[in-house]
A = this chain, B = another copy of it.
């Protein structure tokens, strides 16, 4: 502790400052404030000897730059906003946001950027928008499940913004986004079903007005068409277990052979399980099941569900990475897709 620094350089300061300033460092090191600033910002053109002296003074004073002052002078905030445009209820029931946020925070903790979390219910979206546009942040990350909600997309024109989850309709791609490769994940899960010998593979698809629903169906189709298999075994659900059960019922009622099912999420797969057992069929004996998401709906079924794991934290980290690159003026892809990985469990043995 540098408690009593009697050699405290007199700066004409009367009140006892608790936090050392750049000026004090300059005085202690015997250089000008400009030089200290250069050292702090690791400017290349400072004599090594001087750098050491300054760093020494910084160390002894336990100096930490004042962010506000730095921002004000440099016109850069070093702050990145994480905007979560969701209702309270949704937020609490969804581990997805949390994991993504952690990924973001973790990535940023290795940079000089600071994370500013903004929970923005619809009521406050205007306030949030203003805050963002008010020059208080260097860039923003927007995470939303109903990624159709690109009400923040206009933002991209006045501020670097990266979205998590692709927009439903491909805009003029003025914006940047990072998403999980839903189609590839679905195709992979379906391919696994094929590899284990299934030939009559159905799908319980998600809502076709959500990117995830759409793309996962596309992935299923891709694999089947690659093998020339029948693509007519499609029933839609709304991502709830009940809808999965209903869809499964409709599939079985068709009376055609089915030996494998790819459900667009684990909850629907769990719903389907009950119907399959209801009909006296077995998993994976009669029907192999695969899901998507990797949550406890899939891990607690009997047998455990083969499913597609989403790299939520990597997604967050990548979003942050892309945004930082954008802020720093680098060229980055407008679209970044994160690879998923298949978790093979007993439901597809």
Q: Chain A: residues with CB nearer than 8 A to chain B?
A: 1-3, 5, 7, 9-13, 18-19, 62, 64-69, 71-72, 75, 77, 84, 88, 91-92, 95, 97-99, 101-102, 105-106, 109, 114-121, 124, 130-131, 133-136, 157-160, 174, 296, 300, 313, 326-329, 331
CB distance B18 to A158 under 8 Å?
yes
Which residue from B18, B118, B130 sits with its C-beta under 8 Å from A64? B130
Copies per assembly = 2
Which residue from B1, B67, B118, B159 sits with its C-beta under 8 Å from A136? B67
- Dominant secondary structure at the A interface: mixed
Which residue from B68, B114, B116 sits with its C-beta under 8 Å from A72? B68
Instruction: List residues of chain B with CB within 8 A of the CB of A124.
Output: 109
Instruction: List residues of chain B with CB within 8 A of the CB of A114.
Output: 116
Query: Cα distance A176–B68 when bound, in Å?
Result: 27
Query: Cα distance A90–B109 when bound, in Å?
Result: 16
Query: Cα distance A329–B10 when bound, in Å?
Result: 6
CB distance B331 to A1 under 8 Å?
yes
CB distance A2 to B109 under 8 Å?
no
CB distance A136 to B66 under 8 Å?
yes
Instruction: List residues of chain B with CB within 8 A of the CB of A72.
Output: 66, 68-69, 72
CB distance A329 to B11 under 8 Å?
yes
With A9-B159, A95-B98, A296-B296 known as contacts, the answer to whether A131 contacts B64 (CB < 8 A) is yes
